[in-house]
Homo-oligomer: A and B are copies of this chain.
Amino acid sequence: MKTSVTQENLAKAVSAVSRMVSNRSALPVLSNILIATESGRLKLSATNLEVGINYWIGAKVEEEGSITVPARLFQEFITSLSDGNIDLATDGDSLVVEAPQVKSSINGIGAEEFPLIPQLKTEPVLQLTADELKDALAQVVVAASSDEARPVLTGVYIYNEGNKLILVSTDSYRLAEKKITLKKKPTTDINLIVPARTIQELVRLLGDSEAGLSLFVSDNQIMFEIDGVELTSRLIDGQFPDYRQIIPKGSETVIEAATDEVSRVTKLASLFARENAGSIRLDVKAEGRMDVVANPSQVGENTSSTNCQVEGENSEISLNARYLSDALGVIKNDNLTIILNGKLNPCVIHPADDKPDYLHIIMPLRT
């Protein structure tokens, strides 16, 4: 291999790709990233066997070739170089890197040991923009489970109903559902579960991009493609539970309040709730006030109030403070709606909107 790239492009690609590298892999080559010339461009790849990434950048290719090099060293090294051109060349199992006033040789592993990251060479199932998918995924993945005992709950369930794309996660204590209206129906119906870790990496990768994003699906894999980057992930086997039954229909008490105010009082109460396993109580007064209460514990007690609009009767509910602040953290609207149906039924939180496209449901704590 003999090729030349700009430091800026290479640094961006290496930073994105090296995130997928597992630091604790038993297979040394999985700590490396693959660098390969391909059709006049340079391809960087990494995989942890669950999710893999291929990242193409423009390059002047003089000699085709490929090699793998340690991800961490290569990333730190490339991002520490100044702007300018970087020459890359293989020398046996080493990669020789030359930049102005810098010459390095990095010991690598032959590219033939690197696992293949499949490219799903089908038609895209659907297309949308990076920013709309990113925000939606971030709002949903927060509710996914980290308990491997029920694998289907450790992912984001993605399906469609006509031109509605619906994203759902739940860890059985809380549930988040987001609906996106697509310009065009998917070419085939979608019904799959993507690992939460893949989704978290995808959210980071999408960054602030507003580019178009295509989604490709095979039997057991999904691929997201955007601007010369492909993220390929295994899917989670199994049937996502029929979650619609737990979305409460009633609306005995409906609160509308400023999102940052509710965040502030939740934060205060949560400090005092640590000894009580995070349990805090929302105490809603029909006259227009919500108290957030941390009950007396070893450390003390706290009550903080916020003004709000209340429709319906006085109500109260005990919630896990962390679940509530996770939900508040992903609601970007200035105002939010909280719906209570007594202290034994789940609480619904959504952006203040007559037809919200996002619902966050939290199960009550029995106290």
Q: Could you tell me which A residues sit within 8 Å of B by CB distance?
A: 70, 73, 76-77, 80-82, 94, 101-107, 264-265, 267-268, 271-272, 296, 298-306
**How far, in Å, is A190 (CB) from chain B's closest CB?**
42
**How far, in Å, is A65 (CB) from chain B's closest CB?**
17
Residues of B within 8 A of A267 (CB): 80
> Are A106's CB and B299's CB within 8 A?
yes
Give 9 closest A-B pairs by Cβ, nearest first.
Answer: A106-B300, A104-B302, A101-B305, A102-B304, A107-B300, A105-B300, A103-B303, A105-B301, A76-B271
Residues of B within 8 A of A73 (CB): 271-272, 299-300
> Are A271's CB and B77's CB within 8 A?
yes
> Are B304's CB and A268's CB within 8 A?
no
Residues of B within 8 A of A94 (CB): 300
Which one of B70, B101, B106, B302 lies within 8 Å of A304 (CB-CB)? B101
Residues of B within 8 A of A106 (CB): 299-300
**How far, in Å, is A54 (CB) from chain B's closest CB?**
25
Residues of B within 8 A of A271 (CB): 73, 76-77, 80
> Are A264's CB and B80's CB within 8 A?
yes
- Extra A-B contacts (10), CB below 8 Å, given A102-B265, A105-B300: A73-B299, A77-B268, A77-B271, A77-B272, A80-B267, A82-B264, A103-B302, A104-B302, A105-B301, A107-B299
Q: CA A94 – CA B301 in complex, angstroms?
A: 10
